[in-house]
């Protein structure tokens, strides 16, 4: 079997911990304080812990599926070597060296096939384990989620710019964009918001038509900005409570806020679609499940700290938490603090703008995989390849952004429908079909070291019931 002799970049377990943390913690975290305030602080805390646990369970399903996919690929290579070896032996053209190599590969312990050595994306795994219908449904779910992602990005950025520029003291709730943006002007905030949507699309949208890729330095920059911003927000909230006493009085339990809490929580723990790429460079994959468990524990603790300090520090929580730190919304003075306020207020603009083209390119690639033959894209016209699909990727989110400015609603919808599929349904389907495939095609006694600790079939049914519960509850709320 040919080996790739190029050195692969590897990072230590602690660096991997940070990478996974940065992958998961993003826009969803900025909507959690608002849903905590609406659903009750104690109820939200317990629910968030439950979402973190179920998110980790399905992450272990993804890890097991990747190991099964590696085993399936390796097994197929062995079978092709076996056929080649038999043919060569029959023709009398094989050497002893070739025969010995093939025999050694065939006689390896089957448990050694189960590795995380090769990066196998979710789409590749659906090609291995799903039929054509299942594969198409996977891409549809992924595209729905990515469309929601782009709509959230457009809305969050435009809303942030609008609230920074306009007189934010006029804002008393999430639906008050019919008030003037400035005193004694005819422009209301909704008009200004839509102007910013158009400006954002004009400035950032064209990058969606290019081959824009994330760079290491861009990731380091945005990750650093994220850590600094969240740390400052927690610190300021604690300082506000110490200096001016807690202003917020959130309920302990409020079941009517459950649908919004479901969507935001699922969205906040989303990492499954990017997991294969992020875990592949781990240096010590033997302890990968332990590291991911620690990551989910730390992230859940971080979310609870961010949300609880927010709901008690402020009398009103915006659906995008950074707006609570916009200038004129805090009682902190001084030139340095004004800079901090503007930094926090504009934080979504800095981080989401760099990610928007990348998400748009990911979406158009998945749309191509759904509708075109990706193995021969060059036979399609330039207009189809380079213009039609990028346009299909960004136009629907733009329309959604023009129609609504409510980030919480978009997060709830994206998390509750696209997110449920990506975080619950697809991992369950993958691990179930992967187990069947590897059991029947490799060996029933071959142990998978990366098998999920939640290996009993009961867990599959529990996750499916939990997913149905989430979707039904949110759907009922939307139909009211």
Query: How many residues are there in the chain?
Result: 480
Least Cα distance to 462 among 474, 450, 454 occurs for: 454
Three-state DSSP class for residue 11: strand
- Cβ distance 145 to 414 under 8 Å? yes
What element of type H or E holds 49? Answer: helix 41-91
pTM exceeds 0.85 for this model: no
Give the domain range for residue 132: 13-78+117-479
Within-domain flag for 95: no
Within-domain flag for 301: yes
Between CA 71 and CA 153 the distance in angstroms is: 38
Q: What is the DSSP string of 145-194?
A: HHHHHHHHHHHHHHHHHHHHHS-GGG--STT-TTSBSSTT-S-BHHHHHH
Within-domain flag for 108: no
pLDDT of residue 174: 46
Within-domain flag for 85: no
Give me the CATH number covering residue 425: 1.20.1740
Q: Which residues contact 196 (CB under 8 A, 6 or more apart)?
A: 157, 158, 161, 162
Q: What is the DSSP string of 347-359?
A: HHHHHHHHHHHHH
Within-domain flag for 89: no
Instruction: End-to-end CA distance of the chain: give it in Å, rounded.
Output: 60
Within-domain flag for 106: no
pLDDT of residue 172: 47
User: CA torsion sign, 274 to 277 to 283 to 289?
Assistant: positive
pLDDT of residue 97: 46
Between CA 124 and CA 135 the distance in angstroms is: 9
Within-domain flag for 86: no
Q: Which residue has the tokens 């919004």?
A: 260
Give the number of other Cβ atoms within 10 Å of residue 357's Cβ.
22
pLDDT tens digits, 239-290 = 888 888 888 888 999 988 888 899 889 988 988 887 887 777 777 777 888 8
pLDDT tens digits, 310-331 = 999 988 888 888 888 876 566 6
Between CA 79 and CA 137 the distance in angstroms is: 30
pLDDT of residue 432: 94
Please count the structural domains in the chain. Answer: 1
**Segments of the chain with pLDDT less than 70:** 1-11, 13, 81-112, 167-176, 184, 211-220, 327-334, 373-377, 443-446, 480
Q: Which residues contact 117 (CB under 8 A, 6 or more apart)?
A: 70
Q: Which residues contact 294 (CB under 8 A, 6 or more apart)?
A: 17
Within-domain flag for 149: yes
């Amino acid at each position: 079997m040919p080996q790739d002799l190029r050195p692969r970049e590897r990072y230590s377990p602690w660096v991997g911990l940070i990478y996974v943390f940065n992958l998961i913690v993003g826009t969803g975290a900025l909507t959690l304080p608002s849903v905590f305030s609406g659903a009750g602080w104690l109820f939200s805390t317990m629910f968030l812990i439950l979402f973190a646990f179920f998110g980790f369970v399905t992450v272990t399903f993804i890890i097991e599926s990747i190991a099964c996919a590696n085993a399936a690929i390796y097994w197929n290579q062995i079978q092709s070597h076996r056929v080649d070896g038999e043919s060569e032996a029959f023709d009398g053209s094989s050497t002893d060296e070739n025969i010995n190599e093939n025999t050694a590969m065939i006689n390896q312990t089957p448990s050694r096939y189960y590795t995380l050595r090769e990066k196998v994306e979710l789409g590749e795994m659906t090609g291995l384990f799903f039929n054509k219908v299942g594969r198409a449904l996977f891409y549809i779910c992924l595209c729905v989620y990515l469309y929601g992602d782009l709509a959230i990005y457009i809305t969050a950025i435009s809303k942030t710019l609008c609230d920074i520029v306009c007189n934010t003291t006029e804002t008393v709730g999430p639906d008050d964009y019919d008030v003037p943006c400035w005193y004694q002007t005819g422009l209301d905030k909704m008009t200004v918001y839509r102007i910013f949507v158009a400006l954002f699309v004009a400035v950032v949208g064209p990058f969606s038509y290019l081959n824009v890729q994330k760079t290491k330095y861009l990731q380091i920059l945005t990750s650093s900005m994220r850590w600094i911003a969240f740390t400052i927000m927690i610190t300021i909230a604690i300082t506000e409570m110490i200096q001016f006493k807690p202003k917020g009085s959130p309920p302990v339990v409020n079941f009517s806020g459950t649908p919004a809490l479901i969507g935001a929580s699922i969205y906040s723990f989303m990492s499954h679609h990017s997991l294969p790429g992020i875990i592949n460079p781990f240096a010590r994959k033997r302890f990968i499940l332990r590291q991911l468990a620690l990551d989910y524990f730390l992230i859940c603790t971080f979310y609870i700290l961010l949300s609880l300090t927010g709901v008690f520090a402020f009398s009103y929580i915006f659906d995008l938490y950074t707006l609570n730190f916009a200038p004129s919304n805090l009682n902190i003075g001084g030139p340095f603090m004004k800079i901090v306020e503007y930094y926090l207020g504009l934080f979504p603009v800095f981080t989401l703008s760099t990610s928007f083209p990348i998400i748009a390119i990911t979406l158009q690639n998945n749309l191509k995989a759904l509708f075109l033959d990706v193995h021969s894209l060059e036979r399609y016209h330039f207009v189809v390849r380079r213009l039609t699909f990028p346009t299909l990727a960004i136009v629907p989110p733009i329309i959604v952004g023009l129609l609504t400015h409510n980030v919480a609603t978009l997060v709830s919808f994206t998390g509750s429908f696209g997110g449920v599929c990506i975080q619950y349904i697809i991992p369950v389907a993958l691990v179930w079909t992967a187990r069947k495939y590897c059991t029947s095609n490799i060996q029933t006694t071959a142990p998978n070291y990366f098998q999920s600790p939640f290996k009993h079939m009961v867990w599959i049914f529990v996750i499916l019931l939990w997913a149905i519960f989430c979707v039904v509850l949110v759907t009922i709320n939307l139909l009211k």
